[in-house]
Amino acid sequence: MLKITDISKSYNKKNFALKNLSFEMKRGSILALLGHNGAGKSTTLRIIAGMIGLNSGQVLIDGTDIAKAEPEELRKIKQNIGFISETTNLLDYLTAWEYIFYIGKMYGIEDEKLLTQKIEKLVQEFNIVDAKEKIIKEFSSGLKKRIALASIMINSPDLLLLDEPTVYLDPIGVKIFKKYLKELSSNGTAIILATHQLDIAEKLADKILIINEGEKLFKGTMEELRNSFDSSQKQDRLEDYYAKLIHN
Amino acid sequence: MSHIVSLLLQQDFIKNARKNIILKSIFGDSISIQKVLQINLVLALLYFLLTSVFPLFVFTHFSSFLPNVESILPFYHFILNGIIPLFIFFGLFVGAILVYNINIDENEQLLSLPVVIDDLVRYRLIDVIIANLKSYLLFFFPLFIWLYLAMGWSVGWVLLIAVLSCLLALISYLSGIYLMLLVAKKIPNLSVEKMFINSFIVLGLLFAVFINLFKNGYIVGGETSVWTWMETILSSSSISVWVNSMVAGPLGLLLYLIVLSVCGILISSLWKMSNKALYDIYYKIHVSADKTMKKIKRITYGVSFEKLNTFLHFIPSFPRIIIVKDILSLIRKPNLFIKVVIFIGGLILLINMKYSSVENPLLLALYFSSMFVISRLFLGAVGMEQSNILNIKLLVPRAAKYLSARIQIAMFASLVLLIPLWILLVISSADFAILFYFYRIISMVLNVIIISVFVTYFSAAFAEFEPGKTGDSFTGIYPMAMLLYWGLSFLVPLFFYTLDSVIISGVSNFISTIILFPTGLLIFVSIIICYIFGVRRIRDYF
């Protein structure tokens, strides 16, 4: 599904945000992308989403190099990718319903009847029925996040890129979100989850990728992470291993 | 046009409608696309009825009232010969925005959707073309109709020429964009400012070259009258005699070119040198301005709601409360109060400035360049420096403080940059009517400052004042304000030139006054509306 090979990215001549990062993902898998602020998590997601270019390396989505794809081909690839950024920048002059409708159209759903049905289902599931006819600008950050999440679910993407998706969400919102991710994953969607909330990462992710200053520190399952430490250092929670890795 | 591009344009359309203060206040926040379309259609029809169909009707039925054609001719030439360079210039500017001043945040947001770079570029390009066509149809098209009718052309010819002019404007505009994109490919690190200083110098040089070619008889034919008119203007003052003698022969021309090039280099070097000094002074002024403001605030807080309410007891209670609130908000925000005073004073001065620089091309050139430099000072306050570091809510009040300090800096900079040039010109012209020239210096400096203040308000009015998490949404101000600034710097002199023409040709020429009045009125009304919205938007975030 996704193959990243030696990608590097620098925003200026001196510092690299990413240095030769490589990893692969299969359909239906969930990868937790961890690292402290400025480690390169968002940059990685933005490169995969085709929002920014890279200095070197290759991003293959279903075998197509996104840097070399023709516009039409790239548009089709992007229609199968859902991206949610850390800061929820929605088109805040639209109503919640209009926004999801607009995103649905962007994702190539031409049948308006089908689109309307999907939206009605999503607004129920993400608990945004009361807000659907109101302008997004007036909403709380949590509600905006729910709308953003609902909007990218409209097309059931093959690849979902989530940058701090649970920030601003209340406990009910987090619960709905986790349930949805599980469902999507079981339906074959590959999910990359960049987060600081390690408990969510631990519960949801099949594999963990920890990066620091743009470089890979660890990639593997929770079990492999545990086994990479001596028995004297073994802990229960991902949080403790993460702290140890970063500290080292 | 791809499906994605049309979707992007649609959302742009609804965004503009829903952010429109007037529409919002009448129809509420969630006005539908259909309603926006209907309103736009009705407004456009009304506008065209008033500005285009009405004059067509009047002139067809009352042709005996045709004005004195000669009094309009210079204005006509100015418009006709101005339209191509003006639109090329707009195109160059828009091209520069497309290349150098891309709003990365907004574009990234779009790129996170199934939008590819190709769509984004097309969308931006179509967007600017639509904006340009809109400005043409709303302003230049009716203007052309008035002018051609005033010259006694038949309705059919007027319509034909108006449509042709529209096409011409569009072609010029696209050529400008294309030219800038071509240049930009070769010079990737050039800033918009540098590009404009350079193009200004190049335009100045071209002007000198053409005047010289005309004086030596190389330009003949249909456009000769334009050059004759320009020559007449050049000869109209003693300063221009000096310019005339410079551009009269090949040596003079060479000298003129050298002087202009040296001036170009000097201005940019001087700007760099003075920048640091200006900032040092600025901080000192800022501190003292801040202290003064605090003092004023302390005094104004002495005026309480109760006192004012009692004082205005003769007004019925409901409007009285609103008036008291407004008065208090005005006097307790001295920055705003000062700006309102400057604005009103500025308007009075502008009206009084019919003998200012606008009649003379050399002075006009100085006027443009100095406005450019000074406006940079103002725009710096809002657009550039703090946009990356400050929260928007903090930024706006701070920008208001900056503004008051920057007015003083702008005055200082104007004096530093312009007075030596003026003294040089006065001496060179061997004209000792010093008082008259001082009047011109002062009026020009004031003009520059007033326009710069306008620009700041325009930028506030048109910028997206969204209380976002970072100041990034502010980055869109600068190019937009610059475009407006350049638009204004053409329109304001044009208006005063028009006013002069009317006064010179005599008030008795009733029809010509009718023709010229709506144009000026339109400009002034739009300035005032933008000003009010600008103030309101700034005030909302105080």
- Angle at which helices B477-505 and B434-462 cross, to 10°: 140
The residue ranking higher by pLDDT, A160 or B498, is A160
CB–CB contact A103 B113 (8 Å): yes
CA atoms within 13 A on the CB side of B221: 2
Chain B contact present for A171, CB below 8 A: no
| The one-letter amino acid at B117 | I
Helical residues (DSSP H) of B151-249, grouped into ranges: 155-186, 192-215, 224-234, 238-247
What is the pLDDT, as a whole number, of residue B49?
A: 66
CB–CB contact A75 B114 (8 Å): yes
Chain A contact present for B110, CB below 8 A: no
CA angle B170, B171, B176 (to 5 degrees): 95
Nearest to B116 among A75, A91, A93 (CB): A75
**Spatial separation of the C-alpha atoms in residues B517 and B524, rounded to whole Å:** 10
Question: What's this model's pTM, rounded to 2 decimal places?
Answer: 0.54
Integer-rounded Cα radius of gyration of chain B? 25
Tens of pLDDT along B256-294? Answer: 445 545 554 554 455 445 444 544 554 555 555 556 666
Chain B contact present for A106, CB below 8 A: yes
Of the pLDDT bands very low, low, confident and very high (cuts 50, 70, 90), residue A214 is confident
Contacts 24+ apart (CB under 8 A), B306-309: none
Percent helix, strand and coil across chain A, each to the nearest 5: 40, 25, 35
Q: For residue B503, what are its two tokens?
A: 């006064």
Contact status, residue B93 vs residue B482, Cβ threshold 8 Å? yes
Of the pLDDT bands very low, low, confident and very high (cuts 50, 70, 90), residue A242 is confident
Tens of pLDDT along B94-124? Answer: 666 555 544 455 667 788 888 887 787 777 7
Nearest to B114 among A78, A137, A138 (CB): A78
Contact status, residue B428 vs residue B351, Cβ threshold 8 Å? no
C-alpha distances in angstroms, B329 versus B58, B325, B333, B336, B542? 47, 6, 6, 9, 10
Tens of pLDDT along B226-245? Answer: 555 555 554 444 444 444 44
Strand partners, A5: A58
Chain A contact present for B118, CB below 8 A: yes
**Spatial separation of the C-alpha atoms in residues B41 and B30, rounded to whole Å:** 19
CA B24, B26, B30, B35 dihedral sign is negative
Strand partners, A23: A4
Which residue reads 């179509």 in tokens? B126
CA atoms within 13 A on the CB side of A156: 13
Range of A71-80, B109-118, B532-541 with top mean pLDDT:
A71-80
What is the pLDDT, as a whole number, of residue A30?
A: 93
Q: If you average pLDDT over residues B317-332, what whole number do you get?
A: 62
Nearest to B114 among A85, A106, A135 (CB): A106
Of the pLDDT bands very low, low, confident and very high (cuts 50, 70, 90), residue B409 is very low
**Spatial separation of the C-alpha atoms in residues B180 and B167, rounded to whole Å:** 20
Calculate the dihedral angle through the C-alpha atoms of B486, B488, B494, B495, rounding to the nearest 10 degrees. 180
Return the minimum-mean-pLDDT range out of A198-207, B306-315, B434-443: B434-443
**Cβ-based neighbours of A37, under 8 Å, separated by 6 or more:** none
Q: Measure in Å the smallest separation between the Cα of B385 and chain A Cα atoms.
A: 20
CB–CB contact A75 B14 (8 Å): no
